Chains A and B, each alone.
Chain A
Amino acid sequence: MSTTNRKWHDGMLRTEDWWAVWLGLIMFFAGMLSIWGIDLVGWMTKTKTWEFTNLIADFGWAKLIKPATYSDMPPLLSLFVTYAVFTTLTCIGAWFQKLDVKKFFIGFTIIFVITWLCWIIGHEAHFKAIDAVVKGKNDFEKYGLSWGLQLGGGFSYMLALAVGLIIGNVFKGVAAFLKEAAKPEWFIKTAIVYLGIKLGLMSMQSTGYVVELALSGAAAVFVAYLLFWPIVYWLARRVFRLRRDASAVLSSGISVCGVSAAIATAGAIRAKPILPVTVSMLIVIFAMIELVVLPTTYATLAPEQPIVNGAAMGMTVKTDGADAAAGAILDELMVSRHLQKTGEHWQEGWILSAAILTKIWIDVFIGIWAFLLAMIWIYKVEKKPGQLQVGLSEIWFRFPKFVIGYFLAWLFYVGIAVWFPDAIEDAAAGASIVQSPMRKMMFMLTFVSIGIMTDFSKLKGMGRLAALYGIALFLIIAPIAYAVAYVFHRGMLPPLAN
């Protein structure tokens, strides 16, 4: 049985991209019911800040986790319901995607446990608490700390990534087993749909700011396709003497949106599928390097340019998973460092949104770009005009579908703000559970999974390609991306939290 895309609706039940939309919208609708006073998402578990000695002296799950709003529900039951709901939904998705459901179920369960362990450990006060007053209290003083890393929620992300990487590179047998369920792109695209809800809520408060952020992100499209791509292609052909097809696929992978661009370009120029597979292994590894290096670098070098840093991240880090993950770490690091340094508390999520909005602009146009490349290849390279045709439907098949869920969620809440301002408070009640603990859990699942998927030993034998990737990324893409982000976003700061 083969899988081909023929009709516009093909893949709606079969691809992870569409399943990100379904998982996103299921929770979006469940959260939306709060408008009518129905709380269908209050079982979701939230992490709490805790202190080690206090926990040892008197252990209780209630010190570590709690249900979002079902205050009578025991914390462990809340965690079990969270596990049951998300395992059931993802297993249904896995079945439709023709994955091995039994293997997926076991793998997802293990990844879920690792995720929550990392998340809970990351909330220990010595890692998380910041020595500043937030909402009238100072957690550092509250827990009586004498030292602390003061990383906010960032430590949980870094820990999840480290554990994933250890599994992926040291326990390779375990990683091979878990790969059936380690789906960073699926998890992050679902999280991005949830983030659409957050953006909607943010729009309710600062519409002009969100619109400015969204529109200026469009610059990234020109930069990625019309600046990065030709430069990297030229470098690949002239300096590294790569074949035309390899140069095109690699240029798209490095310059545009990572693995999805590499596959789309290879398909458009009808390259042998082995080419995007090889290039994708390289992209996944480099995306991990970017994810580890860039957030700390940007946060350290430009602590007063949060939105510039976020947008630059969106143009530089390839693959949606790595970009969103890097944006999330950057967000946590910059917000906590700024709070620690100045006592000013930036709203969480704006830096991350800058990174994701920029990336989504780039993602959306990959179908059109691939279509143009297909035309160039047919008319100029293979010289088969008239004999070979490519349909406009190719643009739709390559369109990232999770973006639909993201914009639906966003526009729905913008609509509420515009037409039903009285419902804002009720709408925000359910939405805040979906966009905060649920979204963060999907981010955490992404961090663990992306680590499991990354095997640095795959770099062996890719010397020339890896050299081109490294040079293009750090000497061309990162500096230009930063300069462009600076031009458009300099001086923009996240609004202050109440």
Chain B
Amino acid sequence: MAADLELTLSFDGECWSTVIDGHTFSAAELPELENRIAQAVRHMARFQDHPCVQVWLGFDFDVIPTWLRQYHSHYFNSRLQVTMPSANAELPAVT
């Protein structure tokens, strides 16, 4: 199934990060970043009529040091399913 939104995950040695519509989101732990992504998606106007949004997360393998890439060429991809709130629900602010 095609994803509604495709994002590239990066890691700078301390924090995970991704860019959504030009805005960078980052967090020390991956579940925390995924919560922020979910929050951001729930605020996006283009998904308001979706009951659920599929977000594809692909890890940027360029983050892995060059000397190590010869041993393996993939870290992970995953898919985050964001359930959209009902039309009347009040959304928390995006952080």
Residue of B13, B62, B76 touching A268 (CB-CB under 8 A): B76
Evaluate contact between B78 and A15: CB separation under 8 angstroms: no
Evaluate contact between A277 and B68: CB separation under 8 angstroms: yes
Residues on A with C-beta less than 8 A from B11 are 272-274
Residues on A with C-beta less than 8 A from B70 are 16, 183-186
Residue of A2, A185, A266 touching B60 (CB-CB under 8 A): A2
Take A259-B71, A264-B72, A264-B74 as given contacts and tell me if A270 and B30 are in contact as well, using a CB distance cutoff of 8 Å.
Answer: yes
Residue of A4, A15, A389, A393 touching B8 (CB-CB under 8 A): A4
B17 CB, min distance to chain A CBs, angstroms:
12
A436 CB, min distance to chain B CBs, angstroms:
25
* A264 CA to B72 CA, complexed, in Å: 8
Take A272-B11, A277-B65 as given contacts and tell me if A17 and B59 are in contact as well, using a CB distance cutoff of 8 Å.
Answer: no
Evaluate contact between B13 and A274: CB separation under 8 angstroms: yes
Evaluate contact between A2 and B68: CB separation under 8 angstroms: no
Evaluate contact between B78 and A388: CB separation under 8 angstroms: yes
B87 CB, min distance to chain A CBs, angstroms:
22
A147 CB, min distance to chain B CBs, angstroms:
41
Evaluate contact between A319 and B71: CB separation under 8 angstroms: yes
Residues on B with C-beta less than 8 A from A17 are 73
A451 CB, min distance to chain B CBs, angstroms:
14
B80-92: contact bitstring with A at CB < 8 Å (1 yes, 0 no)?
A: 1100000000000
Evaluate contact between A263 and B72: CB separation under 8 angstroms: yes
Residues on B with C-beta less than 8 A from A179 are 67
Residue of A5, A264, A276, A387 touching B80 (CB-CB under 8 A): A387
Residue of B13, B69, B78 touching A16 (CB-CB under 8 A): B69
* A453 CA to B66 CA, complexed, in Å: 12
Task: State whether the Cβ of B10 lies closer than 8 Å to any Cβ in chain A.
Answer: yes
Task: State whether the Cβ of A3 lies closer than 8 Å to any Cβ in chain B.
Answer: yes
Evaluate contact between A4 and B68: CB separation under 8 angstroms: no
B67 CB, min distance to chain A CBs, angstroms:
6
Q: Which of A15, A186, A374 has the most CB of B within 10 A?
A: A15
* A148 CA to B19 CA, complexed, in Å: 65
Residues on B with C-beta less than 8 A from A186 are 70
* A394 CA to B77 CA, complexed, in Å: 7
Evaluate contact between A15 and B31: CB separation under 8 angstroms: no
Task: State whether the Cβ of A260 lies closer than 8 Å to any Cβ in chain B.
Answer: yes
A201-226: contact bitstring with B at CB < 8 Å (1 yes, 0 no)?
A: 00000000000000000000000000
* A96 CA to B11 CA, complexed, in Å: 24
Evaluate contact between B74 and A2: CB separation under 8 angstroms: no
Evaluate contact between A266 and B81: CB separation under 8 angstroms: no
Consensus secondary structure, chain B interface: mixed
* A14 CA to B74 CA, complexed, in Å: 12
Take A15-B69, A185-B70, A280-B68 as given contacts and tell me if A263 and B75 are in contact as well, using a CB distance cutoff of 8 Å.
Answer: yes
Task: State whether the Cβ of B94 lies closer than 8 Å to any Cβ in chain A.
Answer: no
B32-46: contact bitstring with A at CB < 8 Å (1 yes, 0 no)?
A: 001000000000000
Evaluate contact between A2 and B10: CB separation under 8 angstroms: yes
Evaluate contact between B68 and A259: CB separation under 8 angstroms: yes
Which residue of chain B is the closest to A269 with respect to CB atoms? B76
Task: State whether the Cβ of A258 lies closer than 8 Å to any Cβ in chain B.
Answer: yes
Evaluate contact between B59 and A267: CB separation under 8 angstroms: yes
Residues on B with C-beta less than 8 A from A268 are 76
Evaluate contact between B71 and A267: CB separation under 8 angstroms: no
* A19 CA to B76 CA, complexed, in Å: 21
Residues on B with C-beta less than 8 A from A386 are 81
Which residue of chain B is the closest to A19 with respect to CB atoms? B70
Which residue of chain A is the closest to B80 with respect to CB atoms? A388
Interface residue ranges of A232-290 to B (CB < 8 Å): 258-260, 263-264, 266-268, 270, 272-274, 276-277, 280
Evaluate contact between A4 and B59: CB separation under 8 angstroms: yes
Task: State whether the Cβ of A425 lies closer than 8 Å to any Cβ in chain B.
Answer: no
* A274 CA to B10 CA, complexed, in Å: 12
Residues on B with C-beta less than 8 A from A15 are 69, 73
Take A99-B66, A267-B59, A272-B11 as given contacts and tell me if A4 and B31 are in contact as well, using a CB distance cutoff of 8 Å.
Answer: no
Residues on A with C-beta less than 8 A from B31 are 382, 384
Residues on B with C-beta less than 8 A from A184 are 70
Residues on A with C-beta less than 8 A from B66 are 99, 180
Evaluate contact between B69 and A280: CB separation under 8 angstroms: no
A19 CB, min distance to chain B CBs, angstroms:
10
B51-65: contact bitstring with A at CB < 8 Å (1 yes, 0 no)?
A: 000000011111111
Q: Can you list 22 A-B contacts (CB < 8 A)?
A: A3-B61, A3-B62, A4-B8, A4-B59, A5-B58, A6-B58, A97-B69, A99-B66, A186-B70, A258-B71, A263-B68, A264-B72, A267-B59, A267-B74, A268-B76, A270-B78, A280-B71, A387-B80, A389-B79, A390-B79, A393-B77, A397-B77
| A-B interface, 5 closest residue pairs, ranked by CB to CB distance from nearest | A4-B58, A267-B76, A2-B60, A259-B71, A15-B73
**A residues bordering B, Cβ < 8 Å?**
1-6, 11, 14-17, 97, 99, 179-180, 183-186, 258-260, 263-264, 266-268, 270, 272-274, 276-277, 280, 319, 374, 382, 384, 386-391, 393-394, 397-398, 453
**B residues bordering A, Cβ < 8 Å?**
8, 10-11, 13, 16, 30-31, 34, 58-81
Beyond contacts A2-B8, A16-B70, A267-B76: 11 other A-B pairs, Cβ-Cβ < 8 A, are A4-B8, A4-B59, A4-B77, A6-B58, A15-B73, A16-B73, A185-B71, A280-B71, A389-B79, A389-B81, A390-B77
